[in-house]
Amino acid sequence: MSPTRAATTLVACFAALALLALLSLALGAQALSPAQLLQALAHPLGGGQAERIVVGLRLPRTVVALVAGAALGLAGAVMQGVTRNPLADPGLLGVNAGASLAVVTAIGAFGITTASGYVWFALGGAAVAAAVVYAVGVLGPGGATPVKLALAGAALTATLSSITTLVLLAHLDVFQQFRFWQVGSVAGRSLPDVGVIAPFVVVGAALALVGGRMLDVLALGDDAARGLGLNVPLARAICAVAVVLLAGSATAIAGPLVFVGLVATHAARPIAGSDHRWLIGLAALIGAGLLVAADLIGRFIAPPGELEAGVVIALIGAPVMIALVRRRRAVMTA
């Protein structure tokens, strides 16, 4: 990507993201005029109705959507690069399922009901799930091939989801707490909750950006990467830690959202090309915008209530995944 095109693309992405964020703050059950929005942002402690709506309700959910969407976009791009699988996504390779089971454990065994409490369990569950998928993937000849990692992730997701369901059926009180988190939503969170996960997201994003150049080399194949002097196990470990931190943090605060990383990465790929450093950055911006847009759309689908962002994302992501599978099948049979 040329420097001019890169600069133009980044400016356009940031402008679109800023516009979506402003729309998220202004629109909802009660729409606010630009003057009311500016007044609320300029005087957040004013105490008026506009200030209560913007600062108390819409600003936290917008910030959560931006942070969680960016984290999932980064995680999806890194996961697709490290597995060399264009269908890879934290929600499809066991990471979110591990985090979900850990959160169920947090609710049932320890009575934890806040995002700040979920984060440690979600990160631990995501890490264990990622380690199991990789351990299963390296078994047998050929090591951790993209196909073996995808199959291991699908099998682990099914297993962990079944265990989670069994726990919930046996403990209805846990189900009542878990179901609001499980559907995937950015509503009802607070800015202090974002502060809890922010350090993990920052470290994960830094590792993802560091791993961008490594992913370019890994794309050539393990043998070629070793020939170029890359420490392949270390590169994969850095990328895996980045995915765990990013996906675990986003899952802790917004629930097990699927398809965000998948859609964001594939939307960024035609623009960024094969350079993973640009791909990762663009996927983060698109992921943030996608989740903000999904939350905004959900406010108007089922008035006077609203549809959770996780449901809207699923409605968007499922057709995208079907199209990707059909495209790959057509390529393989051609």
Two tokens, residue 92? 């499809």
Report whether pLDDT(332) > 50: no
Q: How far apart are CA 141 and CA 20, in angstroms?
A: 48
Two tokens, residue 83? 């597995």
Length of the chain measured in residues: 334
Report whether pLDDT(22) > 70: yes
Q: Mind listing the pLDDT tens digit for each residue in 223-281? A: 888 888 888 888 888 888 898 899 888 988 888 888 898 889 988 888 888 788 889 99
Q: How far apart are CA 204 and CA 317, in angstroms?
A: 24
Report whether pLDDT(109) > 90: no
Per-residue pLDDT at 334: 37
Instruction: Supply the DSSP symbol for 334.
Output: -
User: How far, in whole angstroms, is CA 181 from its chain's centroid?
Assistant: 15
Q: How far apart are CA 229 and CA 217, in angstroms?
A: 10
pLDDT interval class at 178 (50, 70, 90): confident
The alpha helices in the chain, defined as continuous H runs, are 3-26, 34-42, 49-51, 59-83, 95-110, 115-138, 146-170, 172-182, 191-218, 222-227, 232-254, 260-272, 276-301, 309-333
Per-residue pLDDT at 1: 63
pLDDT averaged over every residue in the chain: 84
Contacts of 145 (CB under 8 A, 6+ apart): 137
Q: How far apart are CA 82 and CA 214, in angstroms?
A: 9
Q: How far apart are CA 249 and CA 71, in angstroms?
A: 8
Q: What is the fold of 65-333?
A: ABC transporter involved in vitamin B12 uptake, BtuC (1.10.3470)
Structural contact between residues 130 and 244, judged by C-beta atoms closer than 8 angstroms: yes
Q: What percent of the chain has pLDDT over 70?
A: 92
pTM comes to 0.88
Structural contact between residues 201 and 245, judged by C-beta atoms closer than 8 angstroms: yes
DSSP secondary structure, 253-283, as one string: HH----SHHHHHHHHHHHHHTT-HHHHHHHH
Q: Mind listing the pLDDT tens digit for each residue in 58-90? A: 999 999 999 999 999 999 999 888 887 777 777
- Report the candidate in 251, 245, 277, 62 with the shortest Cα–Cα distance to residue 164: 251
Q: How far apart are CA 259 and CA 291, in angstroms?
A: 10
Report whether pLDDT(203) > 90: yes
Q: How far apart are CA 168 and CA 162, in angstroms?
A: 10
- The dihedral of CA 266, 271, 277, 283: what is its sign? negative
- Report the candidate in 128, 244, 109 with the shortest Cα–Cα distance to residue 177: 109
Two tokens, residue 300? 């108007």
